[in-house]
Structure 1
Amino acid sequence: MTDRTQSPERLFQQLDDAVAEIIDRFAREGHGTTRVIETLQDVLAKRQLAYDRDPDPTDEPIEEPSNDWPAADNPSDSGGGS
Structure 2
Amino acid sequence: MLEVNKNITLTGISKIDGVQVAYMSASISTDGGNGANVNETITNQEVYNANKAQVRADIAEFKNKVYEMEDELTKVTE
Q: Aligning the two structures, in what range does the TM-score lie when normalised by the shorter sequence?
A: 0.3 to 0.5
TM-score by length of 2: 0.35
Q: Which structure shows the higher strand fraction?
A: 2
Which structure is larger by alpha-carbon Rg, 1 or 2? 1
Structure number having the greater helix percentage: 1
**Length-normalised TM-score, structure 1:** 0.33
